[in-house]
Amino acid sequence: MKKSYKIEVDCANCANKMEIAANKTEGVKSAAVNFMALKMNVEFEDGYEPKAVMGEILKRCRKVEPDCEIFF
Protein backbone atom coordinates (compact mmCIF):
# COMPACT_ATOMS: atom_id res chain seq x y z
CA MET A 1 0.00 0.00 0.00
CA LYS A 2 1.25 3.46 -0.89
CA LYS A 3 0.26 6.64 0.90
CA SER A 4 1.24 10.25 0.74
CA TYR A 5 1.60 12.51 3.79
CA LYS A 6 2.11 16.22 4.21
CA ILE A 7 5.21 17.14 6.17
CA GLU A 8 6.83 20.24 7.59
CA VAL A 9 10.58 20.61 7.58
CA ASP A 10 12.92 23.55 7.15
CA CYS A 11 15.88 22.53 5.08
CA ALA A 12 16.66 20.20 2.21
CA ASN A 13 19.34 18.36 4.13
CA CYS A 14 16.94 17.73 7.02
CA ALA A 15 14.44 16.31 4.54
CA ASN A 16 17.12 13.88 3.35
CA LYS A 17 17.79 12.85 6.92
CA MET A 18 14.07 12.21 7.43
CA GLU A 19 14.01 10.07 4.30
CA ILE A 20 16.87 7.93 5.56
CA ALA A 21 15.23 7.61 8.99
CA ALA A 22 11.86 6.67 7.49
CA ASN A 23 13.42 4.02 5.29
CA LYS A 24 14.97 2.35 8.32
CA THR A 25 11.59 2.02 10.05
CA GLU A 26 10.05 -1.42 10.37
CA GLY A 27 7.06 -1.96 8.09
CA VAL A 28 8.27 0.52 5.48
CA LYS A 29 9.00 -0.92 2.06
CA SER A 30 10.23 2.38 0.73
CA ALA A 31 9.86 6.01 1.67
CA ALA A 32 10.62 9.14 -0.30
CA VAL A 33 10.58 12.72 0.90
CA ASN A 34 9.94 15.52 -1.56
CA PHE A 35 11.25 18.66 0.08
CA MET A 36 9.87 20.95 -2.59
CA ALA A 37 6.33 19.62 -2.40
CA LEU A 38 6.66 18.99 1.36
CA LYS A 39 5.37 15.45 0.92
CA MET A 40 6.42 12.09 2.20
CA ASN A 41 5.40 9.09 0.13
CA VAL A 42 5.49 5.84 2.04
CA GLU A 43 5.02 2.36 0.69
CA PHE A 44 4.11 -0.02 3.51
CA GLU A 45 4.96 -3.68 3.80
CA ASP A 46 1.97 -6.01 3.79
CA GLY A 47 0.40 -6.66 7.17
CA TYR A 48 1.44 -3.41 8.82
CA GLU A 49 -0.99 -0.78 10.06
CA PRO A 50 -0.02 2.55 8.40
CA LYS A 51 -1.00 4.63 11.46
CA ALA A 52 1.27 2.68 13.76
CA VAL A 53 4.15 2.69 11.28
CA MET A 54 3.77 6.43 10.74
CA GLY A 55 3.98 7.00 14.49
CA GLU A 56 7.26 5.12 14.53
CA ILE A 57 8.51 7.07 11.50
CA LEU A 58 7.71 10.37 13.20
CA LYS A 59 9.56 9.24 16.32
CA ARG A 60 12.64 8.37 14.29
CA CYS A 61 12.46 11.57 12.27
CA ARG A 62 12.18 13.68 15.41
CA LYS A 63 15.40 12.09 16.60
CA VAL A 64 17.37 13.32 13.59
CA GLU A 65 15.39 16.53 13.06
CA PRO A 66 13.60 17.73 16.22
CA ASP A 67 11.65 20.45 14.36
CA CYS A 68 9.96 18.23 11.81
CA GLU A 69 6.26 17.44 11.59
CA ILE A 70 4.35 14.74 9.71
CA PHE A 71 0.57 15.01 9.36
CA PHE A 72 -1.16 11.65 9.41
Closest approach of other proteins to the CB of residue 8, in Å = 9
Taking CB under 8 A as the criterion, the residue among 46, 47, 51, 66 binding other proteins is 66
Helix (H/G/I), strand (E/B), else coil: 62: helix
Taking CB under 8 A as the criterion, the residue among 3, 24, 29, 39 binding other proteins is 39
Is residue 1 part of the contact set for other proteins (CB under 8 A)? Answer: no
For residue 63, the tally of other CB atoms under 10 A from its CB is 11
What is the rounded distance in angstroms from the CA atom of residue 43 to the CA atom of residue 12?
21
Decide if 40 contacts 18 (C-beta within 8 A): yes
Provide the binding-site residues for other proteins, judged by CB under 8 A. Answer: 4, 10-13, 16-17, 32, 34-39, 41, 63-64, 66
